[in-house]
Structure 1
Amino acid sequence: MFSKRTGNSFVRHRTTDTNLILERSINRVQLLGRVGQDPVMRQVEGRNPVTIFSMATNEMWRSGEGEPTSTGDVSQKTTWHRISVFKPGLRDVAYQYVKKGSRILVEGKLDYGEYMDKNNVRRQATTIIADNIVFLSESLRDQ
Structure 2
Amino acid sequence: MSLNQILLIGNVGNDPEMRYTSSGTPVTTFNLATNNTYRDQNGETVSETEWFRITAWNRQAESVNQYLTKGRKVFVEGRLTKSEYVDKEGVNRSSLEVSATRVVFLSSQSGEEPSSQPSSSNDNNINNNDTFSPNDNSEDIEELPW
Please give the TM-score of this superposition, normalised by the length of structure 1: 0.71
- Uncovered stretches (5+) of structure 1, i.e. residues with no partner: 1-23, 65-70
Displacement of 1:47: 5.8
In structure 1, which of residues 35, 38, 47 is the aligned counterpart of residue 12 of structure 2? 35
Matched with 1:105 is 75
- Cα 1:47–1:113 shift into 2, 3 Å: farther
Please give the TM-score of this superposition, normalised by the length of structure 2: 0.69
The CA distance in 1 between the partners of 2:54 and 2:23, in whole Å, is: 21
The CA distance in 2 between the partners of 1:114 and 1:138, in whole Å, is: 35
Please say if residues 31 and 54 of structure 2, whose CA atoms lie closer than 8 Å, have aligned partners that are also in contact.
Answer: yes
Corresponding pairs, count: 113
The CA distance in 1 between the partners of 2:7 and 2:16, in whole Å, is: 19
**Percent of paired sites with the same residue:** 38
Matched with 2:51 is 80
Displacement of 1:49: 2.6
Matched with 1:126 is 96
In structure 2, which of residues 26, 31, 36 is the aligned counterpart of residue 59 of structure 1? 36
CA RMSD between the two structures = 2.1
The CA distance in 1 between the partners of 2:70 and 2:14, in whole Å, is: 5
Displacement of 1:110: 0.5
* CA displacement 1:74-107 (0-9 Å, x = unmatched): 0011000000011x22111101111100000000
> 1:7-18 to 2 correspondence within 5 Å?
none
Letter paired with 1:114: E
